[in-house]
Amino acid sequence: MKKLVALALTSTLGLAAAQTQISIGLFEPLNEHVERVLPRFQEEHPDIEVEIRTLGFNDHHNALVTALATGSGAADVVAVEIGYIARFVAEGGLVDLSEEPFSADQYENLFVSYAWQQARTPDGRQIAMPTDIAPGVMYYRRDHLEAAGANVDEIISSWDSYLEYGRQVRELGDVYLIADAASVANAIIRSDIPEGEGIFFDAEGNPLLNSERFVQAATIAQQIRQEGLDAQIGAWSNEWYEAFRRGTVATELSGAWLGGHLQTWMAPDTAGLWGASEMPGGVLVSWGGSFYGIPTQSQNQEAAWELIKFLTTDPEIQLEAFRTINAFPAMPETYGDPMFEEPLDFLAGQPARVLFAEIAERIQGVATYPGDVVADEIFGSALTQILEEGRDVQGALDEAQRLVERRARR
């Protein structure tokens, strides 16, 4: 259900003479953070009045896609989750913030490099500013680790070691290595990318879906499936939540944000049973993140830019988001805050935020290509055939490569 929050701060903050009214479109729970910090923004900018528009995650992005396609209806500032960035690179609709009067490139060094690159196109356009990130990690059940007599450092030392741990936990009974083997493939294809290349395309725009990186990813995922090591449960399903509650998955590859979801609503009764580590095989990936952009249809772009700068370039504002909605900051400057060293009870006292920060600073930056959305969909279809139909990896990826090449020529 759509929720509009018009902040009536005019009388309390002396904004009766506000000259510019802008709106910001958010998905939950970003609205909780913005509502909390907005009074400070309006104290600093009494000539700008802000209306907050909030929708659920899917509704927000569906409405944004429509508004940008039709050229009307979008807020002056819009939140965009990383999964939609490539679509807006391909279809347009967001202002290039690297140009005047924004000159966003002056802020590049404030952020972890990979987050900045995610909203940057190969031709140098910056279509959004990062606000929070999600370094990829492996969550693991400590009780299964102990029962198998395993060591987490050995488990993550290679993909072979990770699969061997899967064989060990299967001997424990109704316990699987991971919910879905596809998660492994999607992690591997996003790591160890040569400089200048994207996830799906090289520097010249040629697709890479049958390259060694993709073959390795699909081969390992297929081996996990064929050996019966994954529970064949998709993310964001009731079965996924139940697997966490019952402890029928020993590990999960995800963004650091998963720990907060496990603690608050997915599996709160499992407190103390979880730990966090780097992903197996030295894989370093981003697994989520949020950005703010300005639609080209906005009539108040300079005022909108002031709000974006406030929300993204101030370390105190990012720390406030971390405190209130567990949005991991995109600014390394914040990582020295004592909050990062606090032991997390849900993770058996592990100061895991230090680990998350270390991973975030090591993830490589990769530009977003206009064809990424199509390539991702085609690879996903090929991976489904590989996992569910047992199709030959090389054959499936060669076909995926041809499909992407054909789409690129249109």
Model confidence at 198, pLDDT cuts 50, 70, 90, reads very high
Q: What is the pTM of this model?
A: 0.90
Identity of the residue numbered 81: E
pLDDT at 227 over 50: yes
Helix (H, G, I), strand (E, B) or coil at 296: coil
Residue with tokens 């924004």: 102
How does strand 328-329 pair with strand 129-141? antiparallel
Contact yes or no for 188/163 (Cβ under 8 A) = no
Q: What pLDDT digit, counting tens, does each position of 19-54 carry?
A: 899 999 999 999 999 999 999 999 999 999 999 999
For the segment 113-118, the average pLDDT, to the nearest whole number, is: 92
Residue 225 has pLDDT above 70, yes or no: yes
What confidence tier does 166 reach under pLDDT thresholds 50, 70, 90? very high
In 260-322, DSSP assigns E strands to: 274-277, 286-293
Contacts of 300 (CB under 8 A, 6+ apart): 20, 21, 22, 76
Candidate from 16-20, 262-266, 324-328 with smallest mean pLDDT? 16-20
Q: Which domains does the chain have, with CATH numbers?
A: 20-134+287-339 (3.40.190.10), 136-285+366-409 (3.40.190.10)
For residues 130 and 327, the answer to whether their CB atoms sit within 8 Å is: no
pLDDT for position 410: 65
Residues facing residue 289 across a β-bridge: 133
pLDDT, tens digit (0-9, with 9 covering 90-100), for 230-277: 999 999 999 999 999 999 999 999 999 999 999 999 999 999 999 999
Q: What is the CA radius of gyration of the chain?
A: 22
* Predicted pLDDT at 15: 42
- What would the two tokens of residue 382 be? 């090929």
